[in-house]
């Protein structure tokens, strides 16, 4: 009986180790830096022009992006559904929609995955402004530099 219990415990331990290893392997972590030359908004929060670190973690069908300052402090965490068709030319980039002097982060993409960000209230208001009926925003791309290798 004791031998059977040991075998069951060892089997369960092996299964758990294999499950953990496959879940770690299913995640992709990439770190990039971005030199953003203008102030910009994510949602209703404004960020100053400057250098930022973007950490991307991709799991099957879900992406998590963290915007951090160069000192490593997380400023914004964004998560959502992965958009595999989001990458432009195989380069990691951030896309911004520009209305007048306001820049809104709309897309984040890496070579293997990407994510679209919903419009903030201010962005929707500027898009509907009477002085710009049906005006298309200017799209501005910022190419990211890879900071470390994927793990």
Q: Which tens digit of pLDDT belongs to each residue from 54-91?
A: 888 777 667 788 888 888 888 888 876 666 555 556 78
pLDDT value at position 41? 93
Closest CA to 60 of 92, 87, 26, 29: 26
Pairwise CA distance, residues 132 & 63, whole Å: 34
Distance of CA 136 to the CA centre of its chain: 24
Structural contact between residues 94 and 30, judged by C-beta atoms closer than 8 angstroms: no
Band of residue 114 on the pLDDT scale cut at 50, 70, 90? confident
pLDDT value at position 131? 67
């Amino acid at each position: 009986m004791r031998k059977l219990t040991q075998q069951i415990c060892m089997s369960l331990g092996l299964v758990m180790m294999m499950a953990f290893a496959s879940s770690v392997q299913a995640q992709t972590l990439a770190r990039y830096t971005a030199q953003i030359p203008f102030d910009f908004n994510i949602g209703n929060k404004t960020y100053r022009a400057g250098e930022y670190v973007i950490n991307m973690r991709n799991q099957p069908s879900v992406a998590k992006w963290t915007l951090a300052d160069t000192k490593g402090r997380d400023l914004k965490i964004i998560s959502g559904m992965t958009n595999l068709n989001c990458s432009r030319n195989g380069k990691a980039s951030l896309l911004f929609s520009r209305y007048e002097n306001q820049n809104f982060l709309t897309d984040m993409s890496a070579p293997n995955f990407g994510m679209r960000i919903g419009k903030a209230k201010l962005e929707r208001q500027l898009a509907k402004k009477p002085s710009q009926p049906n005006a298309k925003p200017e799209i501005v791309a910022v190419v990211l530099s890879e900071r470390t290798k994927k793990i």
